[in-house]
Each structure stands twice: as structure tokens, then as C-alpha cells.
Amino acid sequence: MFSQNAVFDFNYTVAGPVIREFHETTARVRCLQGPVGSGKTTACVWEVLRRSGMQKADKSRRRKTKWIVIKNSYRQMWLVVMPLWFKVFPRNSDHPDFKTHFKVDKMIHSIELRLPDNTFIDMEVYFISADRANEETFKGINATAIWVCEASDVPSGVINMATTRWARYPEDDKGDYCGTWHGMIMDTNPPDYDDWLYKMFQEHRKDGWIIFKQPSGLSPQAENMRGKASTYYQDLMPGKSQAWIDIFVHGKEGFTLEGKVIFPEWNDDIHC
């Protein structure tokens, strides 16, 4: 990624081969799905940085992108996304090689990062709550790409409206879109069989829509095990239903007794 040659050593280690495949694909829409604690949200934060750094530089040596980041609520945005986001992108920084400014009232983060080739990542990020979103929310945002955090918690209608804003930035001198990539990344625990997310990727596959499924937490190939007790997943299982275990330990789609798969309060990268 950026860890070997960049001005700043971000110290990112890809936490498994499925996450690596997720990073390396050029698919227009991709989703990273797995058990709790598998590093999905962290991977998406780094993918935003990675993709922004791959944007073609313009005449002023700037690699311009605008991102829309969607979470089910602003409360969840602050609990789940922002702690991980600010680990990579400082909330506010006046360093000449890494300038950032966070407008908390508008939930917009402006980022300027100098790369080793003396080009700059020039990125603007709009953090949007799905529970307050409507058609007006996205009007006026000309974006490059979208990240949907815990996608099975976000209504498909919100995502459909968000995709009307991608592939609009950056523009060339004639006002034409000139980006080298646009698309959408998602992370999620396994959804319910009735969820739109399951149906989209499993039953109605579209060209360019790819889902990456991580192994069970009990598998020898389990991802993101660093920093966890060796019995982490085994210790989650006592007292849980088989349906709960299948979803949160094994990373399999299914139904819970409550009819809802995801517990919105859970951040699988912080609570690990």
C-alpha cells in the first residue's frame, strides 16, 4: 500500500488473503463479508486511502477524489467509523505534508497528503447517516466513490441514491469526468437471507459486483487474529444459539431468532 515508500509510515498490515483480494480487485462494487472481529472496517478505511492514491494526478500534481461514507446513524458513525478513521487520518493537522481539517458541523473531512513522487492526495470525505438521508441529502455532492459501513444495516434505497452521485468527480478543464476509477466498497457481517444485500450478491449478481467472504473464526485460515486470544471465537460461543454462532463466528448468512442479524452497537474492529 503506502507503508514502504510514503512520506508517512502508516504501518498497515493486510490481515489475510481474502482482505488482500478485496484490496486488489478493480471491481466496480465490492463487499467484504466475514465474522465479527475479522478486520473488515479497518480494511475499508485503508482502501479509501489506497484508491485515492491511485487516482491519476492532474496538471497541478493532485490526485483528486471525493468520497461518501454511509453508516446507519451518526451515533454509530461516531462509535464505529470515526475512531478507526482518525487513527489513519488525523482529525486536524497542519503538517506541510499531511494537512487535514474536519468540519464537525457538516461532517466533512478535507485531506491533503504528499506522496513520495511529490504528487498529493487531495480528498474530501462526506460522512452521511442513513437514518436521516433522503434525495436532498445527496444533491450537490459530486463524488468519486462510496463506502457503506455495515451495509446490511443500510436501506437499499439510500445506497441507490448515493450511487447517483459517483463518477462525477474529478472533472477536466472541459467539465468532463476524468477519474481513473469510481465505485463502491462495503463491509458487513453476514446478512439475513431476506436482506437486499444477500439477494443482490447471491441471487442477482451484476457485472462488476463481487463479494469477498472471509473464513470462519474457527478456521485455521481465520483473518485478523493478531491481538486476539487464541480462544477468542471459542469464548464467544457458550450460551449462543447455533444461528448466532453461524453468523458471528463462522461468517455464514442465516436467520436469527430476532429476525435481525446485525447488532448495530458492535464494531468488529474495535471490539476485538
Residue 57 and residue 45: Cα distance in Å, rounded?
A: 21
Distance, CA of 64 to CA of 45 (rounded, Å): 17
Average pLDDT score over the chain: 86
**C-alpha radius of gyration, the chain, whole number:** 19
Which H or E run contains 187?
Answer: strand 183-188
The residues near 23 (Cβ < 8 Å, ≥ 6 apart) are 1, 14, 43, 46, 47, 50
Pick from 31, 55, 86: nearest CA to 170? 55
As a dihedral over the C-alpha atoms of residue 161, residue 165, residue 166, residue 172, rounded to 10 degrees, the angle is: 170
Average pLDDT over residues 120-133: 93
User: What pLDDT score does 256 carry?
Assistant: 58
- Give the pLDDT band of residue 9 (cuts 50, 70, 90): low
**How much is the average pLDDT of 109-127?**
95
| 179: three-class secondary structure by DSSP | coil
Q: Summarize pLDDT for 186-226 with one digit per residue, the tens.
A: 999 988 888 888 888 877 676 778 999 999 999 999 999 88
Pairing verdict, β 62-71 and 120-129: parallel
Low-confidence winner among 42-46, 118-122, 175-179 (lowest mean pLDDT)? 175-179
pLDDT at 144: 95
pLDDT tens, position by position, 228-269:
899 999 999 999 988 889 889 998 887 655 545 444 444 445
Distance of alpha carbon 154 from alpha carbon 138, whole angstroms: 15
d(CA 72, CA 215): 26
CB 268 within 8 A of CB 38: yes
- Pairing between β-strand 120-129 and β-strand 98-103 as defined by DSSP bridges: unpaired
Residue identified by cell 482482505 is 19
